[in-house]
Copies of this chain bind each other. A is one copy, B any other.
């Protein structure tokens, strides 16, 4: 009889093979390149001038693909500082699968015509939003589930994310171009609920984990830099019209700067130690960006971004100091990378801010931008109050879906949908994983069992 380690290694191998084969078959059956992304319809050069001109204007957006697809890696590096490079291999696995899976599901919902999905560069950007949400979710359980479970979590998480996004953006007409609700809030609470379902009886090991987070602070430096590089363009990637971009972009920068200042205001007061860890600044940067996800393109004055960013920057220090221990001790929710403080609450704050701004939106203040940000409001089909209520209901709906979906996913992972019948054996497997987790200080290795 083979050892348990061998079994779980082969299980991971088989699951990867199965999922990739399945994805390839679906791609073969359904996915085609969109004709718009090629000059296929224009064979005579002289007539192509209009098209070339259009594609010239499109090119910066194609360039975005380079940057946005990498956003996931920004996340990755951001997580490294908390969980060590041991988990990075797993995170890349999540990313590689999530992008393919999100492309397929979003394609079926948005770009399905004549039995084929027509995909272009923009599809890749949208798929990356799904991958980002999946990575946020895994942040809550990183180091406590094995890669095979991580794949199942990704499969279900991306599916629910796509469903939620479709309901919010397409059906309800909610404006959330940077994903305060769809990416940050949904991803964080989905992950937290999964973590709640996978709670372990011996919680003292967790405190220890927090301490081992310091050595790879090199990653926090690199992560912070990646966030400053890639996040503002991420937040503005799906805003429909290029010319509306700069405001969201600049607002995000302002918000990140102010949230960094906020951490320097609060940390010296909260902590006795006279040192400030890089990872705290990184948390502030993420929070400052998350709060601008929805409101970024709605804010018409820069100081609003400064205030929102300052408030968002206060959340992570307070959260790690007071909320995370409370969640852990009372609600039995372990949050390995602190996604609740860094993505969840700032996302909720961003959604509330977006609701407020939607309620205040007037044609006077927005001018021609109104139809870009709130097309249905500008078209007269909807009042300001209705739009604001929809923005708020988007938050509640996402929380509901994330909660239910997280419980479901957690139950699936516990039940042993990964080929294990008894939950006892699942626990045993987890302990093997924990042993692997102890080797985490060895850089660059990822437990496969």
Identify A96's interface contact among B214, B257, B445, CB under 8 A: B257
Q: Does chain B have a CB within 8 A of A70?
A: yes
A278/B33 in contact, CB under 8 A: no
Identify A70's interface contact among B70, B99, B228, CB under 8 A: B228
- Which of chain B's residues has its CB closest to A310's CB? B20
B56/A57 in contact, CB under 8 A: yes
> Distance in Å from the Cβ of A218 to the closest Cβ of chain B?
6
6 shortest interchain CB distances as A-B pairs: A217-B444, A40-B367, A27-B303, A9-B268, A275-B445, A56-B57
Please, how many angstroms separate the alpha-carbon atoms of A59 and B265 in the complex? Answer: 36
Copies in the complex: 3
Given contacts A23-B306, A303-B28, contact A243 B52 (CB under 8 A): yes
B62/A245 in contact, CB under 8 A: yes
Binds B, one of A248-256, A334-342, A418-426: A248-256
Please, how many angstroms separate the alpha-carbon atoms of A42 and B243 in the complex? Answer: 11
Which residues between 194 and 242 of chain A lie within 8 Å of chain B, taking CB atoms?
214-222, 224-226, 228-229, 232-233, 241-242
Q: Which of A267, A276, A278, A446 has most B Cβ within 10 Å?
A: A276
Q: Does chain B have a CB within 8 A of A320?
A: no
A442 neighbours in B (Cβ, 8 Å): 214, 275
B243/A33 in contact, CB under 8 A: no
> Distance in Å from the Cβ of A439 to the closest Cβ of chain B?
7
Which residues between 58 and 112 of chain A lie within 8 Å of chain B, taking CB atoms?
59-60, 62-63, 65-67, 69-70, 73, 76-77, 80-81, 85, 88-89, 92-93, 95-97, 99-100
A95 neighbours in B (Cβ, 8 Å): 257
A80 neighbours in B (Cβ, 8 Å): 221
Q: Which of A216, A264, A442 has most B Cβ within 10 Å?
A: A264
Identify A217's interface contact among B56, B63, B371, B443, CB under 8 A: B443
A443/B303 in contact, CB under 8 A: no
Given contacts A13-B266, A66-B67, A269-B10, contact A214 B443 (CB under 8 A): yes
Please, how many angstroms separate the alpha-carbon atoms of A90 and B232 in the complex? Answer: 22
Identify A276's interface contact among B62, B89, B224, B225, CB under 8 A: B89
A93 neighbours in B (Cβ, 8 Å): 260-261, 264
A53 neighbours in B (Cβ, 8 Å): 53, 57
B250/A39 in contact, CB under 8 A: no
